[in-house]
Structure 1
Amino acid sequence: MEAIVQAASDRTPLRGGGRRDAWTIGEVARLAGVTTRTLRHYDAVGLLRPTGVAAGGRRLYGRTELLHLQQVLVLRELGVDLATVAEILADGDDVVRRRRLREHHARLLAERDRFDRLARTVESTLRSLEGGIEMAAKDLYAGFDNSQYDAEARERWGDEAVDRSNASWESLGKEGRAAFGEESTAIGRGLAERMAEGADVADPRVQALVARHHRQIATFWTPDREAYIGLGQMYVDDERFTATYDAFAPGLAPYLRDAMRVFAESHLE
């Protein structure tokens, strides 16, 4: 990422005068740490167009494109899907671009702070284990702040539904919660494998995994057709959910959303 920023701001004059204003697709790929295939895909979907074509058919990119690619990669690091990235970056106005960069910077700083807190918690746990000193129970979870999610859930679904969901989670017990997590991981991995194989979302193997996902959700509440479809859409609209599923494989969140719609339309009322 630093290399591409340096290239975009490079004022080194070229032989014969002037400064460099164009890079080939291979050079941009090396600077950004991505593949030329990725850049060609970005071109195909209209996310990053080259400025021209060099002799031999190689794509050429200018300084504006380098900075645009940086913003694409920053948003991808933050777990934003490509369709949303395209919407966010649609306006190329300089004022808008600077505002976006400030927003990205603030989000990255917030993420850095969050991971710093988690790293300190893990470090304290290691010292505790190695020194034979028992940590206070509350200190085991320093850095984990789920209050915002609880507040959002209460605003979206109401106190009664959230309280019922929390009670269901607690009733699972330690072993039940561990098993729930293992099943969630198994479902995510299974879906990622089917997606990698190119399986259609209506494929029976995919739908079997979605049925397991629905059973998990039903542990806390029983969504009807509309609610389950809405939940799938939320996995794409909310970057936190998108990041969770895309951690198994990029693009898994929209793949699951589409599979959930097929399941809902076939099995739910």
Structure 2
Amino acid sequence: MKKRNLTLLLCVIFTIALITVQVIFTLPDSAKVTTISESSSAPIPELACYRNASPKPLDVDGKINLLVWNIYKQNRENWQQALGQYSQGRQLVLLQEANMTPDLKAWIATKMWNGNQVEAFKAFDSTAGVLNLAPELPKLACAYTELEPWLRLPKSGLYATYALSNGASLAVVNIHAVNFTFGTQEYQHQLSVLINELKHHQGPIIVAGDFNSWSESRVAVMSQVLGSIGVKEVHFSPDHRVQFVTGLALDHVFVRGLKVDKAEAPQTDASDHNPLLVELSLP
């Protein structure tokens, strides 16, 4: 009888959670990318892809300083101070769980960033999803979402290409991988769709974000899919990347065609994840 009551209670809790999600969150009909530019008075939502006919080089004298960080929807009070600190001097900022609140919009405008965000869903009129920020807009930015099987909320990914000073094109994937799944089917599908965009790219590549790689089976899928495009994982020192109870790190950076000069993952209490700071240079 106790087991039956417990099962019933869990079902009730799960049902309430689903109803709450449906009430609070608004899901777009399809993946959308919002472009943030100094020249526009407001973010401009676009369907699937943003295109820029006259991009400017991303690197500075062949250097690309990168920040990758899950900022936990800016739920911690000191997120602005920490984000300002870690983004200082960076040419590319890849954020996950970015909640486009008025405070974040103001921070982006004050720092004079340009960028693109995937509109995974809306909560209380604020869009949430992965966000790319840079001094210059990319040549191309395409949004992709994958629905969480349990919570029915999408996780997002952004495929973008940036011009480089040597005439090459840098391809970047910013990913927040699906989390709660019974197996790895949805996880593999999300990674494969994004990585397929890179298979025909001839220039340098960065693949980074919160991979939710909390199990050995997920790590195996991640390694297999990313191995198909020849990227190498970046190793950090110090390495304070957040870990699951299994001891596996959740956040990763993979590169191809770039030299890793320095990589560190410092500690902070401004999010439930620690930032990844990587200094890269063109070969």
- The reply to whether TM is greater than 0.5 is no
Question: Which of the two has greater strand per residue?
Answer: 2
TM-score, structure 1 length as denominator? Answer: 0.28
TM-score, structure 2 length as denominator? Answer: 0.27
Rg bigger for which structure?
A: 1
